[in-house]
Amino acid sequence: MAILSKIRDRSMFLILIVGMALFAFVLDPQSIQSFFSTSKINAIGNVNGEDIDREEFARQVEAYRSRSGANTTQMKAVKAVWNTMLSEQVFENQLEKAGVVVGEKDIWDAMIAIPEIQNSPLFKNELNLFDQEKLKEYVATIKADAEAGDNAAWMGWLETERNIKKNLQRQAYTTLVTAGLGTTLKEGERDYAYNSLKMDAQYVYVPYSSVPDSLITITKGDMQKYLKKNDALYKAEATRSLEFFKFEIVPSEADEAAVKSEVAAYIDDRDEYSNAAKSTITIPGLRNATDYEAFLQENKSDLSLDNAYKFKAQLPKVVADEIFDASTGEVVGPYKDAGYYKISKVVERRTLPDSVQSSHIIVPYAGATRSSSLKTKEAAKKTADSIYRLVRRSKKKFTQIADQINTDGTKGKGGDIGWIRKDQAFSPSFDKDFAAYIYMNKVGSVGVVETAFGYHVIRVEAQKNFQKAVKTVSYGRLIEASEATENTIFEEAETVASNLSDGTLLSELSATYNQQVLSAMNLKVLDEYVPSLGDQRSIVTWAFKEQTEVGDSKRFDVDVLGQRGYAVVVLTESTEGKGVSLSSDIIARVRPILVNQKKAALIKSKMEGASLEEIAQNNHTTIRKANAVTQARPLLSGVGNEPAVVGAMSAAAIGTMTGLIEGKKGVFVLSVDKREDPPALDNYDNYRNKLLGQLKSRTYQLNDVLKNSATVVDNRSRFF
C-alpha cells in the first residue's frame, strides 16, 4: 500500500516520463535535442544585425511559387525570395544612413504616372481624360470593401504602393551615389595614352605546352601554400560529393508480355458471368463495338477517345502501313507505341486537305470567352443566322460585314483567319467544331458554328494538298512494372544499401548489379539538383546533416521526370566553409595555375643568353615581332591575349632586353624597338567624360557591392 501511495503522489512525474518515452519513440535524438533547445532559431537569416522573419519569409516563398507556376521548385523560390529580401534589407540600412525619405506625395505622383492607371477606363472622366478623383474614389471603395471583409483588392493596392516606394528609394540612393562619382582630366589623359600608345617589340616566347605535364608534380602542400597566399580569391563554401546507383522501376519482359496479352483480349467478344444477370453474357470487343467512348471507359483504357483524322505520317510508324492497308472495321495490333500496348480499329476513311484557308464573322454574347458583349446567347444566334442569309452567296458582303463587326485580329482583313494546318486545327488549342467545319466542307461553303467565343459565320476559302486520312479508335494500356518487379528492384536496392553499411564499395558491386557508379560533385548546402537524378532536395539535406559522415550511405525513393525508382547514395567527400579546403572543385581550379608556375620555373632555367638571338637559339625557337600593340588591346599575333607582357613593353627601356616575364601562355623575354607616343591633345575632356560614363554605368553593381559588404547570417538550410 505504501508503494501504491508513492505512485499516486508522483503520478504527474510518471505521466511526464511516459510522455518522454513516446517522444523518444517517434523522434530521433536530434529532434528531441532541438525540441528542448533554449536557442531555437526563429529567423531565416540576419543582415547587419536585423533578423529576417522566418514566417514572413515562408509566406513570400509560397506567394512566389503561386505566381510563378508549377514548374518553380521550392528551392528556386527560396533562393529568389532570399535575394529579394536580402537586397531590401541591405538597402534599408543604407537609406537610413543616407537619410533618404520618400513621402506619400512622391508615391502618389509615381502611382498616377503608371501607364496602366493613366489609360484605365475606370479612372477617366466624361472627356475620356485621366481623372485623379476617379482614382481616389476607387481607392476609397476598395478600402471600404476591405473593412467589410473583402480585402483582396486593397492588399494588392498596398503591395503596389510598397513596390513603388522601394523603387523610388533605390532610385534616390543610386542618384546620390552617382552624383558622388567623378573623374579628372589627368585620368582622361592617361586613358588616352592607354588606348593610343603604340609599341613595336621583338620577343622570344617559350610556351608552357612545350613542357610535358608528366614532368610536373603538384603536391598537397603546394596547393595549401598557394591557397594560403590567395585565400581572398577562393571563398570557402561547404560542399558535399556523392556516388550512387540509380535503380529505375521499369517493366520486365514478363510485365510487357502480360500487358500485351491483356490488351489482345479486348479485340474480340468475350463471355463473362454476370452476377446481376446471374448468367453468362457476351461483352463486345473492339471489333464489334459501336459506342466507342463507352467501350474505352467500361474497359478502363489508358487512352481516351480521339476523333481526329490522321494522315499516314501522323500514325505510329510501327503500324502506319498496316493501318492504311486495313479495311474499315478491321482491328490492328496489339502493337507497342509510346510506352503503351495498343489495338486500333479503322472506323472511317476520307480524303482531306492538309491546310485550309478560312474567314469568319464572329458574334459574341454575354459570358462567352473574352467577350464584352451584352447580347444574350439567343440574340447572338439570331444575329448570326441573319448574317448567314446575307453573306452565304456573296463574298463581297461577307468581307464588308466582317470588317464592320469583327473585333479580333481579322478586322480589316475581311475576317481572314489565314491558312490553318490540319495538326493545328485538331489540336487542343483550336476549337474542334470550327476545325471540323472547315475540313469537312468544300471550298465556298458557308455555315454557322458555335464555339467558346460565340457564334461564327464561317466561309471556307481554299484547301490544298489533299491526302488520304483515316479515323481510328485505339484501346491501350500503359506498360508498367508489376508488383513483383517493383519488389525485386526494391530488394536489390536494399541489398546494396546493406552491403555498403558493411563496408563494401559501390565500385565492387557495380558488375554484380549491372549498375554504373554515378557521381555528384561539390553540391552546395542549398542545392536541390543532383546530376542524373534531377531535383532531389532530400538527398542534399541528408548529405549536409551533422551526423552524416564520409562513407555513410542511404537508400532514397526518387522520381526522375515521372520515372519512379531508388537511389542508393554514398557520401564520398565533405568540405566545410571554414578556411579553404582542398575540395575537388578547388583542386580543378588551382592545379593548372601551379602546373604553369612550375613549367615557368623549368623554362626560365633554360632561357639563358646575352641577347634575344642567343636565348632563341638555346631554346630552339625564333625571335617574333609585335607591331603597333596597345595596352587597351594586348594581343600578340600567334600567341593571344598577354596583358602582362604588353604592360612590360610600356615600361621597358627602348632597345634594352627585359628580364623573363611569366605570361598567360608561356615565358617571354623582349626588347622594345619603338614606342610611338600619340599626339598631345589640347583637351582631354572627351576621354574624361567617357571614363565617367563607364563609371556611372556600373551603378547596376551597387546592389551586389552592398550585399558583399554586409554581415549576413544565412539559416535557410535549417528550414528548407
Average pLDDT over residues 665-687: 92
pLDDT computed for residue 28 by the predictor: 44
pLDDT digits over 556-576, tens only? Answer: 999 988 889 999 999 998 887
Measured distance CA(587)–CA(339) in Å, rounded: 44
Query: Which of 8-22, 28-42, 118-132, 354-368 tops mean pLDDT?
Result: 354-368
pLDDT computed for residue 581 by the predictor: 63
pLDDT computed for residue 41 by the predictor: 66
pLDDT computed for residue 232 by the predictor: 72
pLDDT computed for residue 8 by the predictor: 38
In the three-class reduction of DSSP (H, G, I as helix; E, B as strand; rest coil), residue 64 is classed as: helix
* Closest residue by Cα to residue 268 from 248, 283, 247, 279: 283
Check whether 12 has a pLDDT greater than 50: no
pLDDT computed for residue 577 by the predictor: 65
pLDDT computed for residue 548 by the predictor: 94
Are residues 348 and 470 in contact, defined by beta-carbon separation less than 8 angstroms?
yes
Check whether 1 has a pLDDT greater than 50: no
pLDDT computed for residue 15 by the predictor: 38
Bridge partner residues of 477 (DSSP): 341
Bridge partner residues of 676 (DSSP): 198
pLDDT computed for residue 27 by the predictor: 41
Omega cis (within 30) before 334: yes
Measured distance CA(355)–CA(641) in Å, rounded: 56
Bridge partner residues of 554 (DSSP): 569
Residue 97 banded pLDDT, cuts 50, 70, 90: confident
pLDDT computed for residue 527 by the predictor: 92
Question: Any idea what DSSP says for residue 665?
Answer: S
Average pLDDT, the chain: 87
pLDDT digits over 285-333, tens only? Answer: 999 999 999 999 999 999 999 888 899 999 999 999 999 999 999 999 9
Average pLDDT over residues 525-554: 93
Query: If DSSP states are collapsed to H, E and C, what string results for 473-519?
Result: EEEEEECCCCHHHHHHHHHHHHHHHHHHHCCCCHHHHCCCCCCCCEE
Query: C-alpha distances in angstroms, 576 versus 133, 235, 716?
Result: 60, 11, 17
Report CA dihedral (217, 223, 226, 227) to the nearest 10 degrees: 160
pLDDT digits over 611-663, tens only? Answer: 999 999 999 999 999 999 999 999 999 999 999 999 999 999 999 999 999 99
pLDDT computed for residue 19 by the predictor: 42
- Residue showing cell 601562355: 665
pLDDT digits over 145-204, tens only? Answer: 888 888 888 888 888 888 888 888 888 888 888 878 888 999 898 999 899 999 999 999
The pTM for the full model equals: 0.65
Bridge partner residues of 471 (DSSP): 309, 348
Bridge partner residues of 630 (DSSP): 633
pLDDT digits over 414-441, tens only? Answer: 999 999 999 889 888 899 899 999 999 9
Are residues 88 and 51 in contact, defined by beta-carbon separation less than 8 angstroms?
no
Residue 203's Cβ-count burial label (10 Å; 0-12, 13-18, 19+) is buried
pLDDT digits over 482-492, tens only? Answer: 999 999 999 99
